[in-house]
Amino acid sequence: MEAMEAKSLELYSKYPRYLPEATFQGVSEEMLISKDLQAQITCRICSGLYINPINLLCGHSFCKKCLMQSRIAECITCKKRYSKRFLPEVSSILTNLVNSQGVYCPSHFDKSTEPCHTPNLTVETVQAHVKECGNITLRCKCGKMIPRKNFLRCTVKCDCDFVDCKYCSIQQNERTVKLHSELCRKKAKIDCNNCGYCNTCKSKVANENDESFVSCPYSNRGCPARRLKMKEYRTHVVEGQAVHIMLELMQNYSEIYQNLATEIGRVTSYPQKLPSVYFQFRSRKYKLAIHPDEKIKNVVKIVFDASKEEMPETRVECWRVSPKMLLDLDLTFFDFDIQDNELLKVHVRENGKPLGVRL
């Protein structure tokens, strides 16, 4: 039990930055150990203990803030008026009297915790004590009040959600996950679920998603990708799908593979001829081999380069002769079913009128 208390003390005193601020409304009347001088140290305006007390010329005392905020500048006891601009100095005698009063820790009046038995607390020292006392309750995000000494203990339950630690991926209470992550980050090494190696613990998620090295599952069947980073592996799986299918066929379906290989060899023994298209620009014709999936504007650019002219960004038109049709330069030759040896005419529109040969 003592070891557990020592561990709790170590957590909240060593990592105070992970704790919310304690709410302290000031010393109340019930916190006073002795009530003998209560009347002499209580302000009649705010009904609280004096804060920066001032003795008016009439002999009555009030908090300085209460006097300055009063709508009517007169003593509420004897009705004598005073000047807010010329108030007397704060009474050091009354201040010392208030500050020297013994008080209980606020935990004595909080049902969510145990009372603190720190001796010799006074009005002057209790505020600093509240900032460090392990029995003072702190409000969790979920609204539950938890004693400071237990706030960072993961075994203490509250209504917060559980989230994954970004370093080890183990679920932690939202209240304690920041502290857990800091302690986890300081570990020298951590095992990667993908490659199995111990790596410097930067971020388990980042390491496993990007930095860890893996091998393609088909490397034992002939795939050359034997050492890839995870981000490279994902690309390899997509781009190498056709190769992997062939390796699978070769290993387990040799007859089908052999037939496919024979057919592929037959088809690829004769390269496919690209269709040619004639482009007429100005007074010259240009015969160019085109790929059906190529954009028309890319080939028109070659025509301009061949004629040693700079292609304008706009006003360029490409017409099909038969059937007569204006072609969209951002589409492909396949989109218009352009045939081999077909004639297309290119010209530039100026002042709204096309220049070039007539269609």
**What tens digit of pLDDT does each residue of 48-103 get?**
999 999 999 999 999 999 999 999 999 999 999 999 999 999 999 999 999 999 99
Q: What is the CATH number of the domain that holds 39?
A: 3.30.40.10
Rounded average pLDDT over 313-317: 88
pLDDT for residue 297 is more than 70: yes
Q: What percent of the chain has pLDDT over 70?
A: 86
> Average pLDDT, whole number, for the chain?
84
User: How many domains are there within the chain?
Assistant: 2
**What confidence tens digit (pLDDT) does each residue in 114-145 have?**
999 899 999 999 999 999 999 999 999 999 99
Residue 219 in domain: no
pLDDT at 2 over 50: no
Residue 52, domain member (yes or no)? yes
Q: What is the pLDDT of residues 179-232, one digit of tens each?
A: 887 787 766 455 555 555 545 555 555 565 666 677 888 888 888 887 888 778
Mention every residue, 6+ apart, whose C-beta is less than 8 A from residue 99.
122, 123, 124
Look at residue 51 and tell me if it is in a domain: yes
User: 1-10, 248-257, 274-283: which range is least confident on average?
Assistant: 1-10
- Domain-ending residue, one of 56, 82, 99: 99
Q: What is the pLDDT of residue 326?
A: 94
- 172 band by pLDDT with thresholds 50, 70 and 90: confident
The answer as to whether 200 is a domain residue is no
Residue 44 belongs to a domain: yes
Higher pLDDT, 189 or 253: 253
Q: Is the pLDDT of residue 281 over 90?
A: yes
Q: Using CA atoms, how far apart are residues 38 and 49, in angstroms rounded to an integer?
A: 8
What is the predicted pLDDT for the residue at 145? Answer: 92
Of the residues 65, 82, 99, which one is the last residue of a structural domain?
99
Averaged pLDDT for residues 314-335: 92
With respect to residue 343, please indicate whether it lies within any of the assigned structural domains: yes
Assigned domain for 208 exists: no
CA dihedral 41, 46, 48, 52 (to 10 degrees): -60
Question: What are the pLDDT digits (tens) for 18-46?
Answer: 899 988 888 888 899 999 999 999 999 99
135 found inside a domain = no
Q: Can you give the CATH number for the domain in which 329 is found? A: 3.10.20.90
Report long-range pairs for 295-301 (Cβ below 8 Å, ≥24 apart): 295/329, 295/330, 295/331, 295/332, 296/327, 296/328, 296/329, 296/330, 296/331, 296/332, 296/333, 296/336, 297/329, 297/330, 299/333, 300/329, 300/346
Parent domain of 280: 276-355
Among 51, 71, 99, which residue terminates a domain?
Answer: 99
